[in-house]
Structure 1
Amino acid sequence: MKIQSKLYTAILAFGICLFTSCAKEENIFTDDGNGGESALVELGDLPPTRTAGIPTVTYTTVTKSFDAAAEVDVPITVNYTGVNGAPSDVTIQLGIFNDAVTTMSTTAAPLTILPTSLYTIPNNTLIIPKGQKKATMIIKVKASAFNFALTYALGIKILSSSAGIVSGNFGTGVFIMSAKNQWDGIYQVVSGQVTRFTAVGVVENPSTLNGSLAGNPNINLVTTGANTVEVQNMRWFGGSSSVAGIDNTRATINTTTNAITMNALGNATLANRAGLANAYDPATRTFTLNFDWNQTTAPRQMNLVLKYIGPRP
C-alpha cells in the first residue's frame, strides 16, 4: 500500500507540473520533446536563471545591445517549444509591463523606464506559423537620443497565446536597452608604460608596479555618452593589480579631429599629458592615450595603445 501511495503521489505531482508553467524549468518540454498544445510559450532572449518550478516575484533581466544610431530595430523573440513546432498557426500578443522594471530597479543598479518618446512598436501581435518555433517583435528605438547617464529598460510580457502554455518564469522579462557608440568594445593593450613617482621628479624605486603594460588584460571601453567611453580594467605593470584612485576614467573623442580629452570623475587631477598624443585612428580602430594624475604630489603617468578586437557582450 505504501508503494502504491508513493507511486500515486509521484504521478499526481508530475500531472500538476505538466499543466502549469514549470515546463521549461523542469526540462519537460525541451527541443527533444513533443511540444504540441502543451508546449511552453516563452520569451526566447531570457537566460535560464530561475530555480526549477519555484514561483518568484522577480523577473529575469537581459541586455539588448545596439549601436547608438538614429533608429535601431531591436528584436524580441518568442519561442514555442518542442521538436515538432507549432501544431497550427499560433497567435501571440505581447505587451509592455513596466512594473517589472520598477521591481528590478535597485539603488545600486537603478533602471529607468524607456520613455515612449524613444521607441515605437509597429506590431505587437505575432504569428508563429504551423511547424515553426519562433516569431519576432521589433521595437524601433531612437538610440541616438538616449541620455547615456541612465540605464533604460522595458518590461515585456506575453499577454496571450492561442496555443501552448505561457511560461510563468519566462513569460515576462526586463530588457535593458544598451546603446553603444562607435568606440565601445573590447581592446587589446598593444603597448604602454606606467611610471609612478613618490614625489615630483622622483621615480618610485624599487617598484613592482612600474613598467611595460604590453600584454596586460584587455581593456573595455564602455559608452557613457555620444562621444565618450569609460576606460575599464586598467592595470599596473604585470597585469595582476588594478589601478585605483582614478575611478570612472573617461575618454572623449572629437568627431572632427579624432583628438581625445581624458578626465576621471573619481580624480579631478587626471588630464592629458601636454605635448603627447591623445588620439583615435579610425582606420585601425586604435587609441593612443597619454595622461597623468596627482601631478603635484605623487605623480602617476600612463601611456596606452589600445586596438579594437571585438564588441562587448
Structure 2
Amino acid sequence: MKKIINIVMALTFITGLSSCLKDDTIIGPDSPGAIKNIIEFKNIAPINSSPTAPVPVFIPFTLKPDAATAEIEAIVNYAGVDVAPSDIVVNLAVDPSLIATYNSKVSGAAFSQLASSSYTFPASVTIPAGQREGKFKITVKPNSFDASKENALGIKITSASSGTVSGNFGAVIFSMPLESIWQGTYSVSYSNNYGTIDANIGTFDDTGIKLSTVGPNKLQTLSVADTYSGSTTFQFNGTNTSITSVVVISGSTNFATSIQSVDIIDPINKVFGLHYTWGGRGMVEKWTRTGD
C-alpha cells in the first residue's frame, strides 16, 4: 500500500490538513507524570470521530442485517501508574443525550439512538483488584434495527466505587451500522489530474484498500486519496445505482467536496468509479472489489 503521509511532515508541501492520534487510554499508565485513578472506556476500535467531537465514537464492527443477536465486548479501564488496588465497581447507564449532543455539534452527524428493545448490557462491571480492565457484553438485535437510520448506542459511566470518572472518555457512542453490499477490500486507481494539482498525490494504483460500513449504505476508507491521514466516506443511494455524496475529513477539517460524475457503478461485480473534488483537488478514482 502507498505510505500515508503524516500531516506534520506534509506541512512542508501543503496546509489545511491535520490528524490526531489517541492512545488506548487518555492518560497512559506508563506516561511521565500520569495521573492515577482515572476510570474510562477503553478503545475497542479506532476512534471514528474527530478530536474536537463532544463524545468519542467507536464502530466495534458492522452487523449482518438478518442476525438475531450479536455481542460486543466493551471495556472499562483503570488508567494510571498502578493496577486497581481493590475491586472497583463501575456503574453504567444508557444516555441518549450523548447522541443528541453529538448530532447538534458535528456537521452532518445523524446518529439514531437504538430502541431499548434492541440492546441489553449490565448495570455495572467490576475491574478486579490487581488488574486494569473490566469487560462487559453489549448484546444487540440487528434484525430489529431500522435499516434506514444510523443506529448507535450512547453509554456513560455514572459512578465508580473508587477513582475519578474521565471527563473525556467517561462516555462513548458505539455506532452499529448494518453491513452494506459494498463493504470489502478493493484495488483502486487514483488520479489527481484536474482542479488543484497536489504533488503528493499524482496518479497511481493500490491494492488492499478497505471500505467499511459506517451508516446506511455509507462506506468509509481511513485515508484521504490514499495519501493523507483522515477518512473518505462514500454515500451510496438505497438502490445502489449512484453515489450521492463524498465526505473528506482530515483531523478536524471537513473539506468542501463535490461530485462531477459517477462514471461506473456495478453492484453485481462491486465496481464503482467517479470524478469528485475535495478542497479543490480533482480526483478520478475507480474501485474494484477483490475480497472481504
User: For the superposition of Structure 1 and Structure 2, which TM-score range results when normalised by the shorter chain?
Assistant: 0.5 to 0.7
Letter of the 1:141 partner, please give it: V
Q: Cα–Cα, structure 1 residues 135 and 264, in superposed 2: closer, same or farther, change >3 Å?
A: same
Deviations 1:99-126 (A, max 9, x none): 11111114622111111121122x2211
Distance 2:143 2:117 in 1: 12
Letter of the 2:38 partner, please give it: L
Letter of the 2:60 partner, please give it: K
Task: Tell me the secondary structure at the aligned position of residue 98 of structure 2.
Answer: helix
How far is 1:169 from its partner?
2.0
In the alignment, structure 2 segments of 5+ residues that lack a partner are 1-24, 190-202, 228-233, 245-258, 275-284
Distance 1:216 1:132 in 2: 43
Q: Cα–Cα, structure 1 residues 108 and 88, in superposed 2: closer, same or farther, change >3 Å?
A: same
* Matched residue, 1:207: none
Distance 2:74 2:167 in 1: 18
Where in structure 2 are the equivalents of 1:215-226 lying within 5 Å?
215=205, 218=209, 220=211, 222=213
Distance 1:304 1:136 in 2: 38
- How high is the sequence identity, in percent, across the aligned residues? 25
Task: Tell me the secondary structure at the aligned position of residue 169 of structure 1.
Answer: coil
* Matched residue, 2:110: 110
Give the TM-score normalised by the residue count of structure 2: 0.56
Distance 1:91 1:215 in 2: 51
Whether the 8 Å contact between 2:150 and 2:215 is mirrored in structure 1 is: no
- Alignment length (residue pairs): 212
Task: Tell me the secondary structure at the aligned position of residue 92 of structure 1.
Answer: strand
Distance 2:154 2:272 in 1: 42
Where in structure 2 are the equivalents of 1:1-313 lying within 5 Å?
27=27, 30-31=29-30, 38-45=36-43, 47=47, 58-68=54-64, 69-106=67-104, 108-121=108-121, 123-181=122-180, 184-189=183-188, 215=205, 218=209, 220=211, 222=213, 248-249=235-236, 263-264=241-242, 266=244, 279=268, 287=269, 289=271, 305-308=288-291
Distance 2:132 2:242 in 1: 48
Whether the 8 Å contact between 2:70 and 2:142 is mirrored in structure 1 is: yes
Letter of the 2:84 partner, please give it: A
Who wins on radius of gyration, i.e. which is larger?
A: 1
Task: Tell me the secondary structure at the aligned position of residue 65 of structure 1.
Answer: coil
Whether the 8 Å contact between 1:41 and 1:81 is mirrored in structure 2 is: yes
Distance 2:212 2:171 in 1: 31
RMSD (CA atoms): 4.4
